[in-house]
Amino acid sequence: MKLSQSGTSKVKPANTGKTKLATTGKAKQVGKASKRGGGGLVRTLLMVGFLGLVVFVSYEYTRLPDAAPLLKQNPKTTALMEQRAQEAKEAGRKVRRTQSWVGLSNVSKHAIDAVLLSEDASFYLHEGVDTKELENALEDAMRKGKLGRGASTITQQLAKNLWLSTDRSLLRKGKELILAHRLETSLPKNRILSLYLNVVEWGNGVYGIEAGAREHFGIPASQLTPAQGAILAAMLPAPRKRSPSSGSKALEKRAHWIIEQMEAVKRLDAGQARVAHAEIEQILSGKKPDASEEEVEGA
């Protein structure tokens, strides 16, 4: 009996060791599976949350503005203009507003190309929302805990400028998506682009590309060069901060990138691109960068 017990006691440690190894191996497999499933879970929760937001916003659908009148009428003012005016009054500053409406035929083709390539290269292909970019932006927002500027198409930006505020809440984003859909179903693409170019902010109290061209270059929008158009397009993420006279390195870098994109898609040939790069340097040269400049992103 003693020999049997002794033999048994020798076998147990060996069995215990195998069990630990097997358990550890299973734990590693479970850990890997959890990591693989984690990404899918986050994506699922993200999409469920977004769908919930759409449902929540939908009850306001009938209360949101109708886009159809914009087919033949230009808006007399916009939510952004009113917001800037209120901000100026609260700060004790004089309210400034300069704007001149022009048709697309009175805007330099190079300037239009620059804005499209910078802000929404797929403008004529999507129906108001770039779903892939929106998904990427929502995932990025989940990681950072806040909404960034990414994924806003020109149609969405127009909806925001016309009717909404500049806050970055999910509620506002939901309304923006509904209004972008209304714009796309009520208006042709060229009308949406024309409205956008005429109301977008291009400096303190400067609205629309005609006012922007005259404010920053002293010429009408029809005479903008590729370099000037690229500079105006590069201002759009932060138009009141990134003026040509600000010395912004971010503005300069973005303007050069836009010219590179225009050459890549054959909007400019190599010679025109070289001239544009040189003109950007000439326009922006001699400016001291503002050390306090903070790159601003909006949804």
Over residues 23-60, the pLDDT tens digits come to 445 444 445 444 445 567 777 777 777 776 666 666 66
C-beta neighbour count of 11 within 10 angstroms: 9
Quote the pLDDT of residue 128: 87
Rounded to an integer, the average pLDDT of 74-84 is 97
More confident residue, 213 or 130: 213
Rounded to an integer, the average pLDDT of 69-73 is 97
- Decide: 67 and 191 in contact? Cβ < 8 Å: no
pTM for the full model?
0.75
pLDDT of 2 > 60? The answer is no
pLDDT of 225 > 50? The answer is yes
